Amino acid sequence: MKTLKKTLADLLHQDAALRCVLLAVGMLSGCQLEPTTEYLPLPPPPTAALPPAATSEQRPKLAGIAAHKFSIAKDRRIVGRLAVIRTQDGDTLSDIARHFGLGYHEITLANPDIRPWTPKAGQRVLLPLRFILPDAPRKGIVLNLANMRMFYFPPKQPDVMFTYPLGIGREGWNTPLGQTTIVAKKANPAWAPPESIRREHAAKGDSLPAVVPPGPNNPLGKYALSLGFNSYLIHGTNKPYGVGMQVSHGCVRLYPEDIKALFKKTAVGMPVRMVHQPYMTAWVGDRLYLEAHQPLQKWAGQKQRLQKSLLKQLRQAAAEKGTTVDWEKVDRTLQRADGIPTPILAASLDVPELAAKAPEVQHPVHFYGQPVVPELTGSDWAILVADFHNAAVAQQLAAMLTHQGPPIPARKVEKDGTYQVIAGPFKNKREAELIAHRIRMDFEMDAKPLPPGTVALPQENASTQ
In angstroms, how far is the first alpha carbon of the chain from the final one? 22
The bridge status of strand 418-426 relative to strand 381-388 is antiparallel
- Choose, from 201, 249, 251, 293, the residue flagged as catalytic: 251
Given 3-state DSSP classes, what are the helix, strand and coil percentages for the chain, each rounded to the nearest 5? 30, 25, 45
Active site residue 105: no
Nearest to residue 413, comparing CAs of 452, 373, 354? 373
Nearest one of 358, 354, 304 to 334, comparing CA atoms: 304
Q: 158 to each of 67, 107, 154, 456, how far by Cα in Å? A: 19, 29, 7, 60
Strand blocks (E) in 389-443: 410-415, 418-426
Let me know how many helices (H) and strands (E) the chain has, helices first.
Answer: 12, 23
Determine whether 372 is exposed, middle or buried from the number of CB atoms within 10 Å of its CB (0-12, 13-18, 19+): middle
Mention every residue, 6+ apart, whose C-beta is less than 8 A from residue 145: 168, 175, 177, 274, 275, 276, 296
Q: Are strands 168-169 and 178-187 parallel, antiparallel or unpaired?
A: unpaired
Please give the C-alpha separations between residue 444 and each of 7, 15, 25, 385, in angstroms, as whole numbers. 11, 21, 8, 10
> Any residues with CB less than 8 A from the CB of 124 and at least 6 apart, and which?
84, 85, 86, 355, 360
Catalytic residue among 68, 99, 201, 235: 235
Q: How far apart are CA 192 and CA 202, in angstroms?
A: 15
Q: Which of 206, 202, 244 has its CA nearest to residue 36?
A: 206
Phi, psi of 253, rounded to the nearest 5 degrees = -125, 150
Residues in the chain: 465
> Three-state secondary structure along 116-128?
CCCCCCCCEEEEC
Listing DSSP states for 84-99 in one string gives EEE--TT--HHHHHHH
CA torsion angle for 44, 48, 49, 53 (degrees, to 10)?
-90
Is the Cα dihedral 302, 308, 312, 318 positive or negative? positive
Is 31 a residue of the active site? no
Residues marked active site are found at: 235, 251
